[in-house]
Amino acid sequence: MKRYEYDVLVIGAGPGGSMAARFAARNGAKVLLVEKRPEIGVPVRCAEGISRDWLDIVEIKPDKRWIDQEIEGAKIYSPNEKSVITLSAEQAGNEVGFVINREYFDKYLASLAIEEGAEIWLKSPAINIIKEDGYVKGAIVRRFGEEVEVRAKVVIAADGFESQVARWAGLNTVLPERDIVSCIEYRMTNIDIDERFTHFYIGSCAPGGYLWIFPKGRNEANVGIGVALNRIKKRGEVKKYLDNFIEEHSNLKRGGILQIITGAVSVCRVPKHIVANGIMLVGDAARLIDPITGGGIANAAISGRWAGEIAAKCLEDPLEECLMEYQEKVKKKWERKHLRNWFVKEKLSELSDDTLNKLMEVVSQTDIKEISVRAILEAVQEKYPELVEEFEDLI
Amino acid sequence: MMKVNPALCNYCGACVGSCPVNCIFLNETRVEINEDKCVKCGFCIRACPLGAISADWWSK
């Protein structure tokens, strides 16, 4: 078997992997980025909504080539669609700003890694890790059909929701069914929507998740749905939920489908361990998706940058300390936030359509400057005091 | 016996990440299920957005 040696091996060329490769290479490491697919960014597995505020952190400049639509805010619809809450980009946080084109975006990010000197292999799935004396020492990669051994001082697993590399290494990224959301999305054309906003529909149309319409410009949009696994009883049910919704909405029904996108996301708390001997997990592979929004691009890119920078440091500093530094940094940023959002998600997914309708009726009629749990509860207490009891433990 | 219907499969990996025993392997045009490790939990069957996975022990 052919053998290759690198300082850092990054598995998976999504936003997390490309940022890891870029910042490891910038800091002097000899980096290899491997991607199983024949083209970066394809096929898309994403609703493509991002905010603007984190791009500076990872030194990405907004570029017309990958921005399909600028977004002013988000509209959230009650189950009966009689109440609409409109959030400005600032209020809505994570998921508004741009609807991007991942096919271009991911390629752009990979080219930033290449510019810094990272090497990249396509059509090269990792099929196992190399483990010696309890340490991950690299991976077996099937490069254009030929199995080769890639040895590295540090492995960064950026293999997305599948999170296989982590589990080969013995890291527990197994999810309970309540924390898995199964998704399907249609890229639709010839539909009629307000393109200034992203649109979110909650309640029994998407149990344990939500339904979204993210405009892509030119009468196109990503129309998709996520349903929690513990609410799915039958085979292929997620698609039926989406098809039903489209059937019931004349502005969508008249449209046509250009692309069918599927996938799954985790909506969990930050795992206990995201590093092990010789390996770091980033992005979706580290289960760093926001449990409420399901957004993962920003967290992948940021954790990718940190993993890359710290991996490059490992070449000088003791490996153990570097790995722990990365884990601490990730936990400091997301552990509390994702814990809180996980609780809110659990609570929201239990509410009946009737309760959600009442809640959203009140919130949509109130001028709430800053959308916070407390501000919403105070407004609700005035009109439906009995509803607040259900939420008291969230305050 | 488990089956993946290639006419429905989108090779998205929803089944892979949902499998609690990591017994599903995916490359761009093939899904392999190691049934010796499978615990018949049905996560993958329900997680597949297109309903491409079936099993003789799964009736729904």
Closest listed residue to residue A193, CA positions, set A169, A167, A221: A221
pLDDT recorded at residue B29: 77
Backbone φ, ψ for residue A170 (5° rounding): 90, 10
Residue of B nearest to A232 (CA): B46
**Once rounded to an integer, what is the mean pLDDT over residues B38-45?**
96
CATH number, span A3-43+103-175+272-346: 3.50.50.60
pLDDT tens digits for A188-211?
999 999 999 999 999 999 999 999
Query: To probe the interface with B, which of A173, A181, A262 has the most B CB atoms within 10 Å?
Result: A262
Strands A275-276 and A135-143, sheet pairing = unpaired
**Once rounded to an integer, what is the mean pLDDT over residues B17-34?**
90
pLDDT tens digits for A204-230?
999 999 999 999 999 999 999 999 999
Residue range(s) in chain A whose domain bears CATH number 3.50.50.60: 3-43+103-175+272-346
C-alpha distances (whole Å) from A136 to each of A8, A27, A182, A206 are: 12, 22, 31, 40
Residue range(s) in chain A whose domain bears CATH number 3.30.9.10: 49-97+177-266
Residues of B in contact with A122 (CB under 8 A): none
Check whether B2 has a pLDDT greater than 80: yes
pLDDT recorded at residue A364: 86
Angstrom distance (rounded) from CA B13 to CA A286: 16
Taking the Cβ of residue B28 and every Cβ of chain A, the question of whether any pair is shorter than 8 Å is answered with yes
pTM, 2 dp: 0.95
Residues of A in contact with B32 (CB under 8 A): none
User: Could you tell me the domains of chain B?
Assistant: 2-55 (3.30.70.20)
User: Does the distance separating the beta carbons of A177 and B48 come in below 8 Å?
Assistant: no
Fold category of A49-97+177-266 in CATH: D-Amino Acid Oxidase; Chain A, domain 2 (3.30.9)
Residues of chain A scoring pLDDT < 70: 89-96, 368-374, 390-395
- Please determine, for the modelled complex, whether the ipTM score is greater than 0.90: yes
